[in-house]
Structure 1
Amino acid sequence: MCSTPDLDQISTPVMPAALDCVTRKPQQAEVFSAPSGLSQASLLHQIIAVGSDLVSTYSNRGWWPRHQRQNARSLLRRIQILLTLFEFLLESRQTLPPLANLCLKEFYVIVHRARFLLNYFFQSSRLWVLLRNQMISCQFHELGHDISTLLDVLPLNELGLTADVREHIELLQQQVGSAVLRYDSRDEELRNKVLSFLNEFEEQRQPDTADLKTTFLDRVGIQDAMGFESEIKFLEDKIYNNRESYAETASDWATLSGVVAVARYSKFLLFGIHETVEGKQKYRNNPAPNSISVPSDFCCPISLELMLDPVVVSTGQTYDRSSIAQWMASGHKTCPNSGQSLVNTDLIPNRALRSLTSHWCAVNSVPCRSVQGSSGCATTLVAAKATVEATRAITQILIQHLSTGDLDSKKTAAGEIRSLAKIAKENRIIFAEEGAIPQLSLLLHSQNPIAQENAVTALLNLSIHDTNRRKIINQEGCLTSIVTVLRRGLTPESRENAAAAIFSLSTLHDSKKLIVDEAGGAEALAWMLRNGSTTGKKHAVMALFNLSMHPESWERMVDSNAVEALVGALQDEIVAEAAAGALALLVRRSIVAGLLGWEEKAVMGLAGVMRTGSSVGRQNATAALHEIRRRGGTVVGKRVAGVSEVSALVPTVPLDGTKRSRMKARKVVTPPRRRRQWL
């Protein structure tokens, strides 16, 4: 354990609880141990190889980090002195006493721990080293303490050392024995200075530009926009992708996120938003820094985000509690995914899925904030508010460039909004509140492919928040522009993301009729379903599924050939089940039921879903065939009931279907009951 530092030598922390959390010592990346079965010479060879590699790699570096420099150099000097001992023992070829052999194995562990720590130090970003100043200092001090302990135990008198080797080792023994844990007061003051900017934002005061420049450029050593981008990416990777267990409370995530927000604000303020080479690659191929691929089964069908509190509704579908509760509170009485009526509003916790998502979060170091203890709560709120206010300041800069900047500035600003809107719910709220939606809507008409793609994707990411969907729908001309991109977008990604945006907007009941009536919208979705990529087809079929829920959508769906496209999609196993669900809603209209009843491709396609689909898919196909038979007329009903493929598949539905679906399955092939004739 680290000894308590001399508090008189450290400036008073700005946010003590947050600092303690950020600097908590991480678990070691691996457990080091000396390999068994090695001869004395082999063990010495390996120790010397690792130690020499460290000294040669880092002693002559042209660039050294500004922080922890003294600790790193002291450790390298100690390793270099120890190498003289190990090289002497190897050259002397003497048989060492048992205690010395035991010490050698511990020295093997020491040099590997030193390599791990120095690699960690040199490969980390400047801000990360600064934020973890106390933890890294502890690590260096512990290594020095362990070296001191081994030198005290090592039987020097029994090793036959030459005078110069012994003199060096004894001097090292004195140095490490008298060393105490001290933090560099300048590094501590600078760390507190960086974190003080969080306090300023929390108080809704934007830091002084000159103060930011002095702190980050002159003292931290970040020299340009690319330097800031590298720092931001490193910290975000630590937050979202790293498996190092350094953050165990909400205040860890909040404080680190706050520092990222301050760094991003400083980058824009000091260097503008001119796109960097790294930024171009980010917008095109990696739109969000936290782009871990979340398993689709863990995502809420409504919000498309990781389910933190999964619950099951009466239809058997699972949603995140907050999303489905919002859906029901808006007056919806159907299941968003299946379209079936909700017989009650009960939300049953899906504990099995909750356990799986929690385990996935732990393995991938994804912050799972659904349950937080009271520890550090006040600090978390402060840091979270600072992040919000810093993001608001960033937003104002970006929207200013969207409004008055040149094309390159608008393109880059839209790309930044696209990226930030994907990261967190709070960002989506802030961007909408500050007026990003009207400016992004105008950028959809750009003839620059990347600008258009960034704009439509940014709107898609903003639409993940329910309130923002309403703002997008109500923004004059925005829906028309999104449909235009869907029809004639300049890149395949633009068209796909436009389809995804329409899918997101179509989850609102009030927007369904607006989307269906929008000129060319249904036709474009039908085209995407027939000809798009796998991703585009998924977005298109889910959008058509949502639109089919509206009772007045069927006529436009028929006239636009969307129904025909849904029938064709029954042959595509990737989208077949969703297509069957959409058709099950549309055939509630007698005209549509009659049309599909005479369409052999439709009947056989639904039969195929009954044969190979999941439980939900089979239920959707059964419901569609049942409605076709019931509403399509007597002739159509007999025709459907007489299809051998359908009658052969009906017995499979009771295996895992609901009582209602089993009843529908039987009615698909049951001859219609004749009405009694009264004389």
Structure 2
Amino acid sequence: MKDPVVVSTGQTYDRASISQWIDEGHRTCPNSGQTLANGGLVPNRALRSLICRWCTAHGIPIEAPDGAEVSAESLAAACTSKAAIEADKATARILVRQLSAGSQESKAVAARELRLLARTGKENRSFIAEAGAIPLLCRLFQSSNPIAQENAVTTILNISIHDGNKRRIMEEEEGCLRLTVHVLMHGLTAEARRTRQPPCSACRQFTTSRKDRGPAGCGGGLANLLMQGSTRGKRDAAMALFNLSTHPECWCRMLDLGAVPALVGALRDESVAEDAAAALQLLVRQPTVAEAVGSEDAAITNLVGLLRRGTPKGKENAVAALQELCRRGGLPVTRRVARMPALGGLIQAILFTGTMRARRKATLLVRMCRRCESPAVMACESSRGSGFGSGDASVASVSMPVQVPVL
């Protein structure tokens, strides 16, 4: 295609080809067979822009309909004109009508065209939502047509980039986030599961859009994605769960839905360990969650393991999670933490080499463990042995003043 246009059925054709078809007396859509409501041809500027960029990238000259060559820059500038904006609005309205009343095949085509339109500019993402596309696209999530499902979920992810659409998505269609997560995990095509967009971009963004209404309901799906998804999917699920963890009203619900055990298991995965520890550090502020996490040896073992092998940020999040776990979980949990083998040496290393926040959290953790009079604490305070290297270093480390803000 050189000059793509949209006909009244929502299909896109090259202008020269469809014009010849209509001039020959045909009044139907060549692809779908539906009768054309009118002979109007609306420029598909989103697709034209993509074609132009591809040709430019491959050194292929592009000709405008009048024969004059046009660059990607000039085409992009043209697409910002008032006429182009109105054309995009009209395109969005046509495609949404097709989603509402067309056949299953034409709905799949409309979803594909909306996907392309949503990729070019925040105005188009807004136009699509304002035209009423969100609930119609969500219905296609459960379609038996794999292409329709793939294009529908990708369109939702595309339009969710626009801040104004986050609330629309959460308000206009109950369960949209849950269905999105389901498609990201169990979509009918590899493309749908691979999620080319910032995947759970929807998850990450939606969970911060409304904390007063059910975002934690997707916790179960996110937990499954964290345990079973691709590497990229796991990273996005971990970030989405972290976003949920910033809302205290979600904490117990996330525990019930299995998100907490998933985060505990993710501590062993280097690709998501940092975010998993950050989420747990927030979740264990709820005493119920702290008791549940602290009663499992695996949780404490995994956090201590992250102290040993994690990145500086991962170690910081791990020691903060352990400190918060002891603070909220009470004496039984603190004793479990304090008795972990090699804890003294790991804490010592953080006190000397960790970030400012990590050192402060480590100091608080040592003080809590000291009150338990556990073997690990004795190692921390011994003058020689497996804890801190020397008596002087130990005392100085535990009591040294570290000026950092309370987080």
Instruction: Output the CA distance in 2 between the equivalents of 1:627 and 1:597.
Output: 11
1:546 and 2:243 are equivalent in the alignment: yes
User: 1:473 aligned to 2:149?
Assistant: no
The 2-side partners of 1:531 and 1:213 are apart by 46
Is the CA contact (8 Å cut-off) linking 2:49 and 2:76 kept in structure 1?
no
Q: 1:215 offset after TM fit, Å?
A: 12
CA distance in 2, matches of 1:238, 1:657: 50
Q: 1:426–1:663: structure 2 CA closer, same or farther, 3 Å change rule?
A: same
Residue type of the alignment partner of 2:246: M
Is 1:482 the counterpart of 2:180 in the alignment? Answer: yes
Q: What is the letter of the counterpart of residue 307 of structure 2?
A: M
1:545 to 1:225, Cα distance in 2 relative to 1, 3 A: farther
Give the Cα–Cα distance (whole angstroms) in 2 for the partners of residues 417 and 254 of structure 1: 23
Q: Matches of 1:409 and 1:423 in 2, distance apart? A: 22
- With normalisation by structure 1, the TM-score equals 0.44
**What amino acid is aligned across from residue 514 of structure 1 in structure 2?**
G
The alpha carbon displacement at 1:253 in A equals 5.8
- Matched-pair identity in %: 43
CA, structure 1 residues 413+214, in 2 after alignment: closer, same or farther (shift >3 Å)? Answer: closer
Q: Is the 8 A contact 2:287 2:328 kept in 1?
A: yes
* Corresponding residue to 2:160 among 455, 463, 484: 463
1:507 aligns with 2:208: yes
| Aligned partners of 1:629 and 1:641 also within 8 Å | no
Shift of 1:478: 4.6
1:236 aligns with 2:236: no
1:464 to 1:408, Cα distance in 2 relative to 1, 3 A: same
| Alpha carbons 1:512, 1:550 under 8 Å: kept | no
Any idea what SS the aligned residue of 2:342 has? helix
Map 1:156-171 to 2 at 5 A.
none
Write the distance in 1 (CA, Å) between the matches of 2:84 and 2:279.
Answer: 42
Change (3 A) 1:659 1:514: same
In 2, Cα distance between the equivalents of 1:656 and 1:404? 64
CA distance in 1, matches of 2:251, 2:131: 38
Is residue 559 from structure 1 mapped to residue 269 from structure 2 by the alignment? no
**1:407 equivalent among 104, 115, 118:** 104
Q: Residue 291 of structure 1 aligns with which residue?
A: none
What's 1:625 paired with?
A: 322
Alignment partner, residue 611 of structure 1 = 308
Q: Using the alignment, how far apart are the partners of 1:670 and 1:586 within structure 2?
A: 22
Displacement of 1:536 in angstroms is: 2.0
Report the TM-score when normalising by structure 2: 0.70
Contact 1:411 1:454 in 2 (8 A): yes
Decide whether aligned partners of structure 1 residues 652 and 494 sit closer, same or farther in structure 2, where only a CA change above 3 A counts: same
Aligned AA (2:288): I
Q: Offset at 1:424?
A: 2.5
Equivalent residues of 1:396, 1:434 under 8 A apart: yes
Q: Which residue of 1 aligns with 2:88?
A: 391
Matched letter for residue 92 of structure 2: T
Q: Secondary structure at the match of 1:453?
A: helix
Is 2:181–2:222's contact at 8 Å kept on the other side of the alignment?
A: no
1:261-280 pair list within 5 angstroms: none
For 1:442-484, what per-residue CA distance to the aligned partner results, in whole angstroms no more than 9, with x for missing partners?
2223221221121112111111111101000001335254355
Counterpart position of 1:256: 75
Q: Could you say if the C-alpha distance between residues 653 and 439 of structure 1 is closer, same or farther in structure 2, counting changes exceeding 3 Å? A: same
Q: Count how many residue pairs are aligned between Structure 1 and Structure 2.
A: 330
> Secondary structure of the residue that 1:643 maps to in structure 2?
coil
Alignment check: 8 A CA contact 1:594 1:632 kept: yes
CA distance in 2: counterparts of 1:617 and 1:634, whole angstroms:
25
Report 1 or 2 for greater relative contact order, CA contacts < 8 Å, sequence distance ≥ 6.
1
Q: Give the match for residue 569 of structure 1.
A: 266
User: What displacement does 1:386 show?
Assistant: 3.6
Tell me the amino acid that sits aligned with residue 640 of structure 1. Answer: V
Pair 455,511 (structure 1): closer, same or farther in 2 beyond 3 Å = farther
Q: Residue 421 and residue 657 in structure 1: after superposition, are their counterparts in 2 closer, same or farther (change >3 A)?
A: farther
Structure 2 residue aligned with 1:8: none
**Conservation of the 8 A alpha-carbon contact between 1:257 and 1:387:** no
Cα distance in structure 1, aligned partners of 2:245 and 2:303: 17
- Please show how residues 184-203 of structure 1 align to structure 2 within 5 Å: none
Establish whether residue 580 from structure 1 lines up as the match of residue 277 from structure 2.
yes
Check whether the contact 2:134–2:173 (CA below 8 A) recurs between aligned residues. Answer: no
Letter of the 2:339 partner, please give it. Answer: G
Q: Is the 8 A contact 1:449 1:490 kept in 2?
A: yes
1:134-213 aligned at under 5 Å gives the runs: none
The 3-state SS of whatever aligns with 1:528 is: helix
- The alpha-carbon distance between structure 1 residues 213 and 604, as it changes in their structure 2 partners (threshold 3 A), is closer
- 2: CA distance between counterparts of 1:437 and 1:554? 29
Cα-to-partner distance string for 1:207-242 (whole Å, 9 max, x where unaligned):
xxxxx9689968xxxxx999x999655412256x46
The one-letter amino acid of 2:74's match is T
- 1:362-401 aligned within 5 A: 383-401=80-98
Partner amino acid for 1:609? L
Gaps of 5+ in 2: 4-13, 21-28, 32-43, 61-69, 372-407
1:280-679 matches, within 5 Å, as 383-479=80-176, 481-482=179-180, 485=183, 489-491=187-189, 493-494=191-192, 497=195, 499-508=200-209, 510-511=210-211, 513-516=213-216, 518=217, 521-654=218-351, 657-671=354-368
Deviations 1:482-513 (A, max 9, x none): 355467543454456474422321132x2475
